[in-house]
Chains A and B, each alone.
Chain A
Amino acid sequence: MELKSTTPLKISSLVKKYGSFTAVNNVDFEMKPGEVFGLLGPNGAGKTSIISCIVTLQEPTQGQCQIFGYDPQKEPLNSKMLTGYVPQEIINHGYFSVEEILIFHSGYFRVWYNKERIHYLLHRLGLFEHRHKKVKALSGGMKRRLLIAKALVHDPKLLLLDEPTAGVDIELRASLWDFVRELQKDGMSVLLTTHYLEEAEELCQRVGVINAGKLLKVGPTRELIETMTKRKVILKFKGECNPQLNSEFLLHKNENEAHFLIPQELGIGELLLSIACDISRLMDIRITEGSLEEAFVRILDNSRKEASL
């Protein structure tokens, strides 16, 4: 299918209200081709409402979504052909087996005789031996993998993953991460919403942080961590710590260790100079980088403080 734009997803001034409640408040962001973009936020932040507007389960109150240039509200058949959607909640499909569901789903996307792709996905997601089972006979993890297989039967260019690893065990989660990386390598763009910030840090090149319907920050994951977090530096000395040692960055010190929290822009050398460190007594330096979780908490804290002013 011809693309109107190379931008996988563009959200412009999106507002979604349910009665008087504003779930999504004037959100703007766009994805880059071939990236994994994480939309992060606490429960009820508006992540699923945004995805629901993208896939036409909800109609935006204001604003617009565009998938490769197609507006899902105006050209739904084109935008849907380009999109795969993994919902947050399990779908039961009482009457049909795993393979039948995938055959029907292929047909909905205009693909008949899709056995090769279906069997590839069943193998890749560990469902092949369960293909004749009905959904109710599958475990929670298998049901979630079936949702992923359904979203991929037509080889979409944009994959929307709404909390794909909720309730999934660690091993399966790791294999799904590998699969997402593989899809990205094949050129697919992925929008991921998740509660697991470790997952977003691992997979997403860029993230957006949303709270109470407002998009608070968007940026490259690494950059966000660097600007929003501090590094922890632990200096270990031969013998006792200098009792005179002091610094605005000092967290605490014990017998032979001093713990510092330093901004990303401050070099280790500058820190050592600022505390007049006797390098000959320095045994070890341990540096812990900030995490996305810390950045996330900081962004939310800042927004709450701003709101209370």
Chain B
Amino acid sequence: MTISPYAKPFLTLYYREIQRFLKVVVQTILAPIVSSSLYLLIFGVSLGDKITLSDGTSYLAFLIPGLVMMSVLNNAYQNSSSSIISGKFGGDLEDWRIVPLSAKGILWALSLGGLTRGLIVGAITLAVGEIFFYIVQGQVMLPAHPGLLLLFLIIGGLSFSMFGISIAFWAKTFDHASGVGSFVIVPLIYLGGVFFSLEGLHPFWQGISKVNPLLYFINGVRYATLGTSDVSPASAFIVSMFSMVIFYFVALRVLKKAQYTRW
């Protein structure tokens, strides 16, 4: 197969991004798996026995898809944003500007890099979840719609990689970038229905939750895994896709207008 010379810079940056997170595999892959395993053990196994959902789904089964999506979103965001922030410190970012890489090339390479890391951590989280599920239920949980599951994970991973790119370029200090992580992303993920179902909330809070786009990302994955969710799969798909398109155009504009000079 012949690769177009124009694709080579983009593919090189994508390869570099993968190599970058593999160089610090303990921090980028293993650490998130430990935290996901603890969530599964404490909430899914230990407390899960005391929680019953109205449709009869076990709490552990309810929790697994949410945790998988949470892993994908977190890791995709962290990968692209940390790559840019460390590039601002070290000066690597200047390299991307002076070489024949287009803004779209940088955007897709970083987004796919973040998605790759997100999918690896998400897949391992799912595997760990399956082990817990097998121990507790004595059977394996097969996704109801595997293709749809992959689609929602890809949309979520790409969206959050693109969000990470925008935030990292906007950030003037480490505090800015970590502040968005702590005060925006973590609350949105936690309030997006990873750990609870909308049906248990007061109608007022249900209304508030429905404004959170992450509810749709997470419930898309939950529907694809369990066959049921708090929002319809169509609305989950439309909101997720719409969010991804917004994230894409914002990140592209940021990349075209951004300063690539170091801090």
Q: How far is the CB of A138 from the nearest CB of chain B, in Å?
A: 13
- Binary per-residue interface labels of chain B (65-101) against chain A in the complex, 1 for a CB within 8 Å, 0 otherwise: 0000000000000000000001001111011111111
Interface pick from B9-17, B151-159, B218-226: B9-17
Q: A95 to B91, Cβ gap below 8 A? A: no
Query: Is the CB of B261 closer than 8 A to any CB of chain A?
Result: yes
Q: A90 to B91, Cβ gap below 8 A? A: yes
Q: How far is the CB of A109 from the nearest CB of chain B, in Å?
A: 6
* Residues in A neighbouring B97, C-beta threshold 8 A: 55-57
* Residues in A neighbouring B20, C-beta threshold 8 A: 95-96
Q: In whole angstroms, how far apart are the Cα atoms of A110 and B102 in the complex?
A: 13
Partner of B91, one of A80, A91, A105, A109: A91
Smallest Cβ-Cβ distance to A52: which chain B residue: B261
Interface of A is mostly: loop
Query: Is the CB of B24 closer than 8 A to any CB of chain A?
Result: yes
Q: How far is the CB of B209 from the nearest CB of chain A, in Å?
A: 39
Q: In whole angstroms, how far apart are the Cα atoms of A80 and B97 in the complex?
A: 9
Q: B94 to A91, Cβ gap below 8 A? A: yes
* Residues in B neighbouring A91, C-beta threshold 8 A: 90-92, 94-95
**Known contacts A104-B16, A108-B12; is A57 also within 8 Å of B94 by CB?**
yes
Query: Is the CB of A112 closer than 8 A to any CB of chain B?
Result: yes
* Residues in B neighbouring A90, C-beta threshold 8 A: 91
Query: Is the CB of B35 closer than 8 A to any CB of chain A?
Result: no
Query: Is the CB of B200 closer than 8 A to any CB of chain A?
Result: no
* Residues in A neighbouring B8, C-beta threshold 8 A: 107, 110-112
Q: In whole angstroms, how far apart are the Cα atoms of A150 and B98 in the complex?
A: 11
- Binary per-residue interface labels of chain B (119-136) against chain A in the complex, 1 for a CB within 8 Å, 0 otherwise: 000000000000000000
Partner of A108, one of B3, B13, B94, B260: B13
Query: Is the CB of B5 closer than 8 A to any CB of chain A?
Result: yes
Q: In whole angstroms, how far apart are the Cα atoms of A96 and B16 in the complex?
A: 9
Interface of B is mostly: helix
Q: How far is the CB of A41 from the nearest CB of chain B, in Å?
A: 20
Q: In whole angstroms, how far apart are the Cα atoms of A104 and B15 in the complex?
A: 9
Interface residue ranges of A99-126 to B (CB < 8 Å): 100, 104-105, 107-112
Smallest Cβ-Cβ distance to B22: which chain A residue: A95
* Residues in B neighbouring A44, C-beta threshold 8 A: none
Query: Is the CB of B50 closer than 8 A to any CB of chain A?
Result: no
* Residues in B neighbouring A92, C-beta threshold 8 A: 89-92
* Residues in A neighbouring B96, C-beta threshold 8 A: 108
Q: B86 to A94, Cβ gap below 8 A? A: yes
Query: Is the CB of A76 closer than 8 A to any CB of chain B?
Result: yes
Query: Is the CB of B202 closer than 8 A to any CB of chain A?
Result: no
Q: How far is the CB of A74 from the nearest CB of chain B, in Å?
A: 13
Partner of A96, one of B11, B19, B99: B19
Q: How far is the CB of A70 from the nearest CB of chain B, in Å?
A: 11
* Residues in B neighbouring A111, C-beta threshold 8 A: 8
Query: Is the CB of B6 closer than 8 A to any CB of chain A?
Result: yes
* Residues in A neighbouring B145, C-beta threshold 8 A: none
* Residues in B neighbouring A57, C-beta threshold 8 A: 94, 97-98, 260-261
Query: Is the CB of A77 closer than 8 A to any CB of chain B?
Result: yes
Best-surrounded residue of A77, A78, A100, A110 (most CB of chain B within 10 A): A110
Interface residue ranges of B1-50 to A (CB < 8 Å): 3, 5-6, 8-9, 11-13, 15-16, 19-20, 23-24
* Residues in A neighbouring B210, C-beta threshold 8 A: none
Q: A77 to B102, Cβ gap below 8 A? A: yes
Q: A89 to B262, Cβ gap below 8 A? A: yes
* Residues in B neighbouring A78, C-beta threshold 8 A: 100
Query: Is the CB of A85 closer than 8 A to any CB of chain B?
Result: yes
Query: Is the CB of A185 closer than 8 A to any CB of chain B?
Result: no
